[in-house]
Structure 1
Amino acid sequence: MTFGIAILYKVPEKAPPHLLTFMEPISLTVWGTIIASVVVVSFGMYIFSRFSPTEWENPFPCQENYGFLENQFNLSNAFWFSVGSIMQQGCDIMPKAPSTRIIAIAWWLFTLIIISSYTANLAAFLTITTLSDTFKSAEELEAQTEVTYGCKKNGNTCSFFENSKIPLYQRMWERISTSPDAFSSDTNEGIARVRDGNYAFLMESPYIQYNTNTDENCELTQVGPPINSLSYGIGLKTGHEYRDRLSSIILSLSEKQDLLELYNKWWKVNDNKCGIFVFLIGGLGIAIVILCIEVLVYAVKRSKQDRMSTCEILSLWLKSSVKGTFPASTSNNSLDRYSMSLQGKMTLSSARPSITQAIKEEDEPQSEQTNKRQENTTTSIILTPSQI
């Protein structure tokens, strides 16, 4: 395992808010994933609603014999539902089928967690009074004079700077050796001085990473990369019988990346934000299963009512879902008209009355509607005088 000497410092206060500060609580990757989730959920609601029998309804409930059913979840309404939910504004269009409701529940839980996390982080970003970083590397640390830096007295880090031939580290050692407050008696004292502020402690990077990852107050951080590269080893007596075996085992663990896994387990902090996205995908998967069950139950029920086979009902339903309109009944004249429209013999607009005509018929008195029906069904014969 390799390591190096790095700089332990107290977490600096952040810079003042800028124009795009509202985007900083969430990384660009998460922002992109959220936008992709909106698109996926919108298309999911659109597709599932078209294939779900429950989402199709009569647009004119007062006309029980209206020939066709319509679906409220077109593509624009599906996007409006998704965006309204994530903005926590709601929507006047709500799903009715079990499959689309499962998608809505998963999406609402997803938006609840995302918005809650974003709001909490944004509040922290906007309320912290901030200052800029004092230094970001060993070169900047050596060049500044505001922050005192040092290391453990008579330790390996102290020996490294004392014996270094590099001009930068020689200048750093000159300042450390001449400053009475630069040295710390042990590592714990150095970390405590870092917490007090205005002090940078030079120590081995694995110790820094371990302390920063286990710091409950999140006050410690490593500034810049390690300034050198060294390797750990196991000390044994000269000519020890286990020397070659231990070297072979360590080499094997390194080749199999077992040492890397142990390093990631104990030194790395896994900030996994994929759980909520996995839950959303799981909700879509459950909705697919519910949709299949819903369509099968509907097909079996309609096949018994209309004396048609289940396969015929499913075939007609799939065609109508893709086309976007479905007849209210599969056993009356609307089925014939719909079949003709699918075959291109009759356009869909000619097979269904216009909205204006339907409203006009609703407003007409019953007597006038009866007279019109009689006029349409009665044949009049007019004779001219010559024929008489």
Structure 2
Amino acid sequence: MERSLWVAFCLGATLFLLDEPTLADATENGDYTSKDTDSVRGGGKDWPMLYVTTILEDPYVMARGTELEGYCIDLLEKLSEILHFRYKVGVVKDGKYGSLSTNGNWTGMIGEIVRKEADLAVAPLTITSIREDVVDFTQPFLHTGIGILLEKDTILEDASLFHFLAPFSKEMWAGILAAYVISSLCLFLAARVSPREWDGNEDTPFTFLNSLWFGAGSLALQGAVPLPKSLSVRIISAIWWLFSIVLLTAYIAGFSFVLESGSEQLSIQTFEDLVKQRHLEFGTMASSSTLRYFKESKNPIQQMVYESMNKKKDTVLAQNYQEAIQRVLDSNYAFIGETVSQDLAVARHCNLIRSPEVLGPRGFGLATPQGSPWTNKLSVAILKLGEAGDLDQLRSKWWESSCSHDDHDKWSPLKPQALGGIFLILALGLALGMMVALIELSKKSRRTADQEKKSCCSVFNEELSQRFRPREIKKQETAGKSKP
């Protein structure tokens, strides 16, 4: 009797183990492995079962011992909690995302969805028009673009002779030049209008050239002559001094960051820079949406990128991201791919960097068979996760950087918006100075009008015309008065 019970127990245990394959078998053979949701939520056995296909891609889906983990697994878990479904996850058999082969059949995860071998594809699948023709995509759960992944040591070049201009942007330098010229002009006009600076017989010491020199001396924090005597000119001078002090402080602080960050800068900032250089090979993943993007692009630079990759397709096209990243680390190679995956590589390999330019904004979505009732439900659930901040939390969890970032890595040339307040104060000060100069002249005109029994407005106009009369007319009038 005991022997019979023992045989029955062994037979039952064997059947149970055969019924539930291990993750290792699922990973190697492409079979499905189930997630036990019953232990987490009551009533899970009554929920519908979805068969999910995915691909091993760090950090989206990774095999850790006997379990799958990663961004997509966490996302799938959250979606199942919201929509109340169970799921079995299997790794795609051919290890591909999905592309249209020459015989008209789809490969990879897209192929499994088209053939209805799976109900859902949860992976970093780029939403494209050609894929949208054969499957349905949900709302994007991650947004990305096309960037260039590079090794820092291979793209650093010495700073240019004009590296001292780096603390300010081009717009900022243009704004400073305009402020300097306008302030000097206001200084000249106020000195001409103010009675204390112009006596009527001789030109004021504040000629336009002298005003330019006065502004340059103030900007360099050096003493400058002539000294202002009237209130209006002193207001303009004081506001220009304040502007100069703030500007120099900002420049010195910015230049300190430039010096601390070293005398090197990236030689490849854009795809045009990548095409023009000759010491780096560049490529992308074979049969990827990125390669198709450059193939179908009408942009001349992007066409040149595709032609270069197509000529050397046997050597520059990588089969997966791991191979591409390793090539960037080991050789003179630049990888063109999804920025979100490149950001992960930069976070884990401190010697890698992504170029600033990003092309073709796109998104990663979940794929379902056409007409599936789950598509809209999953889209709404993804939107809810985004609104609740869960998607950002997952991104921070799996994209956590192991590299230390110095302050100068976050620095960028100063733009006019950063010092917009001091520009506004300068404009108000110049306007105030000009108004005070006109008030000073109007007071003098009123006194002269009372003495000569004339209209105040006529005297004011005469004073203005006398101050801005050309030198030749003045000389002629002076010569005419000196004749008997």
TM-score (norm 1): 0.51
Alignment counterpart, residue 249 of structure 2, candidates 116, 119, 131: 116
Shift of 1:238: 5.3
Separation in 1, partners of 2:151, 2:428: 41
Percent identity over the alignment is: 22
Alignment counterpart, residue 167 of structure 2, candidates 20, 25, 28: 25
Separation in 1, partners of 2:427, 2:201: 34
Alignment counterpart, residue 194 of structure 1, candidates 347, 353, 370: 347
Pair 89,158 (structure 1): closer, same or farther in 2 beyond 3 Å: farther
Shift of 1:91: 0.5
Counterpart residue number, 2:81: none
| Cα-to-partner distance string for 1:221-255 (whole Å, 9 max, x where unaligned) | 545433x5536889999599xx8xx9xxxxxxxxx
Match for 1:51: what amino acid?
A: V
Counterpart residue number, 2:145: 4
Alignment counterpart, residue 174 of structure 1, candidates 319, 335, 359: 319
Unpaired runs of 5+ in structure 2?
1-139, 296-308, 328-339, 380-411
| Cα-to-partner distance string for 1:297-341 (whole Å, 9 max, x where unaligned) | 22223333554432343133123212389xxxxxxxxxxxxxxx9
Alignment counterpart, residue 102 of structure 1, candidates 222, 232, 235: 235
Root-mean-square deviation (CA), in Å? 5.3
Counterpart residue number, 1:297: 443
The 8 Å contact of residues 144 and 364 in structure 2, kept in 1 or not, is answered as yes
Pair 348,107 (structure 1): closer, same or farther in 2 beyond 3 Å: farther
Separation in 2, partners of 1:300, 1:68: 20
Separation in 1, partners of 2:202, 2:268: 68
TM-score (norm 2): 0.42
SS in structure 1 at match of 2:147: strand
Pair 14,49 (structure 1): closer, same or farther in 2 beyond 3 Å: farther
Alignment counterpart, residue 465 of structure 2, candidates 312, 319, 333: 319
The 8 Å contact of residues 9 and 194 in structure 1, kept in 2 or not, is answered as no
Separation in 1, partners of 2:262, 2:158: 7
Residue correspondence of structure 1 range 137-152 to structure 2 within 5 A: none
Separation in 1, partners of 2:322, 2:348: 22
Matched, 1:230 2:378: no
SS in structure 1 at match of 2:221: coil
Shift of 1:74: 1.9
Shift of 1:161: 7.7
Structure with larger RCO (C-alpha < 8 A, sep 6+):
1
Residue correspondence of structure 1 range 257-336 to structure 2 within 5 A: 272-274=415-417, 275=420, 276-323=422-469
Pair 181,282 (structure 1): closer, same or farther in 2 beyond 3 Å: same
| Cα-to-partner distance string for 1:18-70 (whole Å, 9 max, x where unaligned) | 4322233333443344333333222222222111112125xxxxxxxxx9465
Separation in 2, partners of 1:162, 1:97: 70
Pair 317,74 (structure 1): closer, same or farther in 2 beyond 3 Å: same
How many residues end up aligned between the 2 structures? 271
Give the structure with the larger strand fraction: 2
Shift of 1:271: 6.6
Residue correspondence of structure 1 range 365-384 to structure 2 within 5 A: none
Shift of 1:294: 2.2
SS in structure 2 at match of 1:4: strand
The 8 Å contact of residues 161 and 173 in structure 1, kept in 2 or not, is answered as no
SS in structure 2 at match of 1:174: coil
Alignment counterpart, residue 158 of structure 2, candidates 6, 12, 16: 16
Separation in 2, partners of 1:232, 1:128: 36
Pair 315,342 (structure 1): closer, same or farther in 2 beyond 3 Å: farther
Alignment counterpart, residue 204 of structure 2, candidates 45, 48, 71: 71
Pair 198,282 (structure 1): closer, same or farther in 2 beyond 3 Å: same
Shift of 1:100: 2.1
Unpaired runs of 5+ in structure 1?
58-66, 152-156, 201-220, 247-268, 326-340, 352-388
Counterpart residue number, 2:336: none
